[in-house]
Amino acid sequence: MMSVYDEYEMTIGIECHVQLATKTKLFSPADNDARDAEPNEKTHEIDFGLPGMLPVLNKHAVELAVRAGKALNAPIARVSRFDRKHYFYPDLPKGYQTSQMYQPIILAGYVDAPLEDGSLKRVRIHHAHMEEDAGKLTHHDGYSLVDLNRAGTPLIEIVSEPDMHSAEEAKAYASELHKLMVYAGVTHGDLYHGNMRFDVNISVAKRGATELGKRAEVKNLNSFRSVERAAEYEFKRQADLLERGEPVVQETRGWSDDQQITTSQRSKEDAQDYRYMPDPDIPPIVLTDEEITGMQEHMPLMPGECRERWADLGLDHSVITTILGHQPLAILLDAIKTLTVHNEQAVLDELGVDKIKYQRLVKRIFNWFASTPEGLIDMDLIGEGYVGPRRLTELSLLVEDNEVSSTGGKEIFLSLFDRQYLKQGPREIAESKNLLQVSDERVITVIVDEVLHDPASAASIADIRSGKDKAIGYLVGQVMKRSKGQANPSLAQKLIRERLQ
């Protein structure tokens, strides 16, 4: 059924502030980690803008910005400069923010964001520039308090082109951008503490219109779901205004997670309102090709590369998304996936499997991790090497060869992250938990015969012979019961069918 909203299309561009993972601030030696700190504890005279205090650019911040450019598929400017962006806020003591308006360090690039249907949405990056963060205001009844712990925190602001046209695309882009920045080591990526904040610019116009509508900017979103929900709400709000013949005001709006609505905050300034001017206290950043190459060396495996390398496993989109949400886990599983790349036959011979069977082993391991709640996986054991390719592939092989049931395999998998089993391999754990299946056909044949001769089985046997195949479940269950859960259920079912032919 057609809706009035079907007549409209939204256009979205996102500006993302990324806090760089440096030890100190962008222009001062103050500690850059203000988590759990007292207000104004992580500050320096430069952060307060005191007279005579000159900024000194943090070299590590430049290096991280250059690495971010690599992750964004963007070239790096050989010469970039800082500018002063003037506006007067209580949490900005200097009266201006040091930013890069005219010559940013990161030039045009792109991000390929995966959607749930398996397609990729390419979002172009207009540019990304370095800048310092402002402080924080806490509002109370009748007064406000200023905390400058965040003032001077090094940021890059990544500015996308208005290439997104749905809330799903906006969420996918924000999520992929977060992965790229974390994987590249640019930021710690702690959304709760504001390491990445998304400003979502949304405009609405009739489908087929040649001009975009007036945009509203929803500021400081710190979750992917908030990006999606805010876009959905703002689309309907603006479309409703247009339907009533009312204008959309260009403004900055806030998002309320509790109410799931946006609210007006202030009118939106244009660039000229900030009175940009070159900063005379900071020399230009001049980089050679060799310096840029050096800063971008040793980039880790990135999310897009992982997806390409794992494509032949046939994994669900949700599985890949879950795995890529934890970089150490992605590194481990990629190591398992590519274990055979450099010494394929030796690895396959050691495991006694062919390449197709090895892929099944790997896919099972991916699914185990993706289906396990985060709290049950001790990621430290991965980092310390206790849970690695050898133990995981050995466990998967036990399940593949029906030595352990799928349920037993999951139980052993969880035990690998229990520190009391650190010195035991999967087979030893299976033995200690009595989870090894009996696959000796002679042993199971005896049990099957006992079950089939039991008068209690007569009804199920009659049902099976009359075409009610599901009745075999009762007989298999009786075999499992008599074997105390150790019989191989597949073999038991095979033997039952043979006896009833």
Whole-number Å distance between alpha carbons of 174 and 188: 15
- In the numeric block, the tokens 């749930």 are attached to 116
Q: Which amino acid is at 19?
A: Q
Q: What is the mean pLDDT of the chain?
A: 91
365-375 pLDDT, tens per residue? 999 999 999 88
CA–CA distances in Å: residue 32 to residues 42, 83, 197, 459: 7, 22, 17, 74
Least confident range of 114-128, 260-274, 371-385: 260-274
Q: At what angle do helices 458-465 and 472-482 cross, to 10 degrees?
A: 140
- 441-500 architecture in CATH? Orthogonal Bundle (1.10)
Instruction: Return the pLDDT at 384.
Output: 80
Segments of the chain assigned to CATH 1.10.10.410: 441-500
Helices (H), 264-354: 289-295, 303-310, 317-324, 327-337, 344-351
Instruction: Return the pLDDT at 340.
Output: 62
Over residues 336-346, mean pLDDT: 73
- pLDDT(346) > 80: no
Closest Cα partner for 131 from 163, 165, 92?
92
**Is the torsion defined by CA of 73, 74, 75, 79 positive or negative?**
negative
Q: Could you give the dihedral angle defined by the CA atoms of residues 310, 311, 312 and 316, in that order, rounded to the nearest 10 degrees?
A: 90
DSSP class of residue 350? H
For residue 473, name the pLDDT band (cuts at 50, 70, 90): confident
Instruction: Return the pLDDT at 14.
Output: 98
Sorted by sequence, the CB contacts under 8 Å of residue 233 that are 6+ apart come out as: 260, 261, 262
Give me the numbers of helices (H) and strands (E) for the chain, helices first please.
17, 15
Structure tokens at 396: 């998967």
This prediction has a pTM of 0.87
Strand-pairing partners, residue 203, are 11, 215
Whole-number Å distance between alpha carbons of 51 and 25: 19
- pLDDT(218) > 90: yes
For residue 201, name the pLDDT band (cuts at 50, 70, 90): very high
| DSSP string of 119-134, one letter each residue | -EEEEEEEEEEEEE--
Q: Which amino acid is at 195?
A: N
Over residues 231-243, mean pLDDT: 94
- State the burial class of residue 385 (Cβ atoms within 10 Å of its Cβ: 0-12, 13-18, 19+): exposed
